[in-house]
Structure 1
């Protein structure tokens, strides 16, 4: 019975990997890109995220004055948050509520509003978000895309958990554990593939289980 269960679990594990593999790869790539979204946009906007005081002894304007000048420049813009950077050469960040809502940078010395830049990088990140959540689908099809990504995310969790069970050695000796936990440089062909699959899966499984279940 145990042998049958292990065999059934192995083939289910393999089928889940084959069926959900493409979607999992898309979600992994887009998720990695989104993890560095703020840093990538900051790099792309590095030229406009620097302000210089009009004189060496100039001080930032009071917040009341900055708010007044922002309302005069953009009467229809209502910021929901204001971010102040620890770097005195960085402008204030004024953002409306919601993803994709208007964002402006404000020169704290003059009150000037600076439109956000890097349209190419922002469009790229928007595409990464759409593919990560809905496989790039639009409109009413988003629900279907979200259902597919959710199912594949659960399949990824199943792969990690079932992989740990399939990997679980019968004898806990260093000789038995070494090929499944350490990448061996002297292997070739299928033996190398088996070793890499098990070793990488062993060390990443706990993180993947947490990521997939919380996602």
Structure 2
């Protein structure tokens, strides 16, 4: 019976005859356990396939609402006396007009909702929800196309007033509103809105890492400082 030996094995045996048995055994053991590049790649692939996947990070909300201290509505649960949850109404109206290019229809329904809810203790929350829906999804996109539309600027001004009345800490949204309203609102009115929102946002206690590391948290600090600069500039301060 003849054994067919590869060149590398033949050379190793010849080399072993010169080194002695113990050295030869070590060389052959090393050859037997040596991994080829293909084997290494297969092992890496298998290890990657069996490695546990990193948990997906929860999606950050598009915006944050500002709640009064000790508000019972921080989880947006329906008031006890309410037949329906008022905090789902803005979303319902938004879905009703999805794909409708005429923002005035949605604005009319949201304005009606706010008029019906005025005086309720949850009214400031609805003001913020309605303002975020109209400004982010309707008015700002139209503003970037036509910045001189007076009807649209009036609507931006109305929802800015809702944000200010609700004592929002969303400095980013207020900053964008005031930038759009420059030349439409008097400078002293712009300055007052910028100053009060900046003070409110900067006074918010930092209670967790999310207050500075998330997009909403970091932007709140950044735009609050920009609002302070805006107020000083509008007031002629250095």
- TM-score clears 0.5: no
Q: TM-score, normalised by structure 2?
A: 0.24
Q: TM-score, normalised by structure 1?
A: 0.26
Q: Which has the higher helix share?
A: 2
Q: Which has the higher strand share?
A: 1
Computing the radius of gyration over CA atoms, which structure comes out larger, 1 or 2? 2
Greater relative contact order structure (CA < 8 Å, 6+ sep): 1
